Chain A
């Protein structure tokens, strides 16, 4: 009888100490959860608050009347939603059209100054970009691109190129070169081997870079503020003007619209960006 109890006692101690350790763990993790989700919950409450002012802890009335206003057929929000999404699609098309050849060249072909070229695409991320946008706006003003969709798309393409080119290059270098050579040996032309073999195999990585560029464009504020406003109103610009006008309901609904694709991307990013592609980024 004495043998089992001797071996059980330390285990019970271990369980007890584990339980006690859960007190600080739960406090810290709970605090972290509050700091991360608290602001998001506060935003969600604002989207359905009809009347809410100091010193009331919670709204006085709840309802969806602001949702109705946001999605009214001729409302500002629908216009900005359409503008934002079409700008993002044009931006993806533009940056992929530039990044697929560039990425392929970086991954497969002989290039002089390859390292320097990779670095050049990183530059827009390595400087605070506000001074650059200010001067793009000044340049665009002279050639009448200011306040046009094309102007905003060009700014977003430049900003998104670093992701597009770096991820495309990584996606192409993760494709097994032997498969291309096999296609060439069977008589396929270089272009046919690229379209039928290399491109489909690199597609998940290219898809990831497309989603990245899409989100960057959807969320971009500073460039659109200087180049687009007030003629082109994207969702971030609408959020900003609604918020500075004190209309927190419209601002919070717009914030929610911008938030959903970002969170969805966070949850699926690992499916698109496989480890073998990720390991080749920047090489």
Chain B
């Protein structure tokens, strides 16, 4: 009886995951190879013909956003750990978290207004005399998408990274400081190497999240080239073409798998 109780209690939740996640996931893989009742690579050749530019665009945008997120997260975590002015550290700690819980759909909307040609970003630069109103342009293209991704994901990765940095042994840091090492050098040579695993987990999770976001590319960058997610939505709403939509979905899964493989490889090398 007691041996069966555990599996019994957990099975309803597992069945939901199985039916509403694993089955549709399998359906998307199978559907990608389905061409008018038979199996073949037709959907992939179509996806390649029409969307190669968008696939490259997606990989580059998400890769760039992940890299920038990582750099900013290290900078924030590093200052929170090594900063010597308590007031500045407290201000930064209060400040950096705000975008974390703001949903992507709201991020898309607020940045669409902020980065528009007459948005608050340009008008502030104009007010400070840093920008000539006549040369002001809108940033609602690939730059807007990168800003939106970095804006939303940096607090999440910075929270993870600063948590890992806070639990490091202070002894080595103090010793290096006493020997005259600059704080930047301590960050790069002592602190960051010890939190690589946490940093990579945060970045892989962010990468996968960005690959699946539909609202931001739809709201900020609807013109071509756009991201795979927007293409999938378009393929379905205009043609009800599940084959090519699933092929594009599988390609985005493959790009995420490359990121996860990269993470595993770095992790394994560290474990050795």
Residues of A within 8 A of B (CB): 18, 21, 25, 29, 32-43, 45-46, 53-58, 98-99, 101-102, 104-106, 109-112, 117, 120-121, 123-136, 138-139, 154-155, 157-158, 161, 165, 215, 218-219, 221-222, 225-226, 236, 239-240, 243-244, 248, 251-252, 255, 258-259, 262-263, 265-266
Contact = CB atoms under 8 A, between A and B. Distances in A.
A241 to B, nearest CB: 11
Interface in B217-272: 218-219, 229, 232-233, 236, 242, 245-246, 249-250, 252-253, 256, 260
A158 to B, nearest CB: 4
B60 interface: no
8 contacts: A39-B120, A110-B3, A111-B6, A130-B212, A130-B249, A134-B232, A243-B108, A263-B98
Contact of A57 (B123, B219, B232): B123
A44 B108 CA distance: 15
Closest 3 pairs between A and B when the two form their complex, measured CB to CB = A131-B249, A128-B212, A219-B103
Contacts of A252: 109-110, 113
B184 interface: no
Contacts of B114: 38-39, 42-43
B95 interface: yes
Given A218-B103, A236-B215, 7 more contacts: A29-B95, A42-B110, A99-B13, A121-B13, A134-B28, A158-B17, A221-B104
B42 interface: no
B121 interface: yes
Residue in A131, A133, A157 with the greatest tally of chain B CB atoms within 10 Å: A131
B117 interface: yes
Contacts of A134: 28, 232, 236, 242, 245-246, 249
B151 interface: yes
The A interface is mostly helix, strand or loop, or mixed, namely helix
B186 interface: no
Contacts of B40: none
The B interface is mostly helix, strand or loop, or mixed, namely helix
A158 B124 CA distance: 43
Given A29-B91, A130-B229, A132-B25, A101 B10 contact: yes
A83 to B, nearest CB: 15
Residue in A128, A222, A244 with the greatest tally of chain B CB atoms within 10 Å: A128
A39 B124 CA distance: 12
Given A38-B124, A134-B246, A222-B212, A98 B16 contact: yes
A244 B140 CA distance: 14
A67 to B, nearest CB: 17
Nearest to A234: B105
Contacts of A243: 108-109, 112, 219
Interface string B110-137: 1111100111110110110000010000
A136 B254 CA distance: 20
A112 B14 CA distance: 13
